[in-house]
Structure 1
Amino acid sequence: MSASPADEILDVVDERDQVVGQARRGEVYAGGLRHRCVFVLVRNAVDEIFVHRRTASKLVFPSLYDMFVGGVVGAGESYDDAALREAEEELGVSGLPRPVPLFRFLYEDGERGWWSAVYEVRCELPVNPQAEEVAWHGFLPEAELAGRLGSWEWTPDGLAAYERLRAGRI
């Protein structure tokens, strides 16, 4: 039997992204402890963006749409390594090029916060997303994605990252 995602050990960080401790993911979420996450914008060969709806079983933002793949950075893991690992896991592929780092920002919503490293990668492989992570997926032209921003319910952290990316606030 595999360990629960809630048992994964994460680095706890301060407002400057310096490690100040470690805790299980469940404790980090329950206590609103600041940690690290990666967001990877995935484009296909014709420049469409991978969009998906998260499963209802996700611990954070269940059933919401996201224009990024990604997740938490494990204890002692680099942002770069986490970006590649998470992108390959969520897309169900192996052999992706290393995602290109774009910018970092501190996401906070009043209850919790995480340092967020935003990346981009081109995926020309056929995707087979994890059923336990992704309820629906598709590649959308950027204009269609922009048109859906007001009508679909998006993850607030992903939306914040995407808005920063579009505004060039890196």
Structure 2
Amino acid sequence: MTEQARSADELLDIVDADDNVIGRAPRGEAMARRLRHRCTSVQVRDPQGRIFVHRRTPVKLIFPSMYDVVVGGVVGAGESYDAGALREAEEELGVRGLPAPESRFTFLYDSPQHSWFVRVYEVECALPVRPQPEEVEWWDFLTAEELERRLPDWDVVPDGLECHRRLQTWHGQP
């Protein structure tokens, strides 16, 4: 079974406008029918304060081959945001023993194609990263200045970029 097929079969909680669970559906169906669900986004920094950035592989179910400035993904059915954030961060970074990501805020990401609540986190990773080749095609840690210089030239995952911008505002940065 391909990574994309496994991903499409993952069971998600479907939520209402107040983020209350109202049902469950396979991820592929949730995406195809634009059913509102839950996701996590974790901005990862190394001990020098550089931000982990990566390009997604072409086989990703959504936003294939795009750059991202956060790691994360869907929250599984019955899973908490906090557990999902840690699981997704460890999976995408290829590490074990990551400190618990710190929750910052939650918002509704709503576009014509997608609808999900995003809980945004931050974490420092001092461990050597080994990103999953099935999920991450390229990666690096960039300073905030380097990242801002590159963003205009990159095709960036839209909800990840929104998380990044909202984190900047949360930290009082322009």
TM-score higher than 0.5 here?
A: yes
Bin of the TM-score, shorter chain as denominator length? over 0.9
* Corresponding residue number in structure 2 for 1:4: 6
Of residues 144-153 and 70-79 in structure 1, the stretch that sits farther from structure 2 once superposed is: 144-153
Q: Point out where structure 2 has 5 or more consecutive residues left out of the alignment.
A: none
Cα offsets for 1:77-108 (capped at 9, x unmatched): 00000000000000000000000001100001
Q: Point out where structure 1 has 5 or more consecutive residues left out of the alignment.
A: none
Equivalent residue in structure 2 for 1:112, among 111, 114, 121:
114
Q: 2:171 and 2:30 mapped to 1: Cα distance?
A: 28
* 1:134 partnered with 2:139: no
Q: 2:51 and 2:7 mapped to 1: Cα distance?
A: 27
* Corresponding residue number in structure 2 for 1:65: 67
Of residues 123-132 and 108-117 in structure 1, the stretch that sits farther from structure 2 once superposed is: 108-117
Cα offsets for 1:109-132 (capped at 9, x unmatched): 122210000000000010000000
Equivalent residue in structure 1 for 2:19, among 6, 17, 20:
17
How many corresponding residue pairs? 170
Task: Report the Cα offset of residue 49 of structure 1.
Answer: 0.4
| RMSD over equivalenced CA pairs, Å | 1.5
Q: 1:43 and 1:153 mapped to 2: Cα distance?
A: 21
Q: 2:131 and 2:76 mapped to 1: Cα distance?
A: 21
Identity level (%): 58
TM-score by structure 2 length? 0.94
Task: Report the Cα offset of residue 162 of structure 1.
Answer: 1.0
Q: 1:145 and 1:93 mapped to 2: Cα distance?
A: 23
Cα offsets for 1:28-84 (capped at 9, x unmatched): 011011000000000001000000000000011000000100000000000000000
Of residues 118-127 and 159-168 in structure 1, the stretch that sits farther from structure 2 once superposed is: 159-168
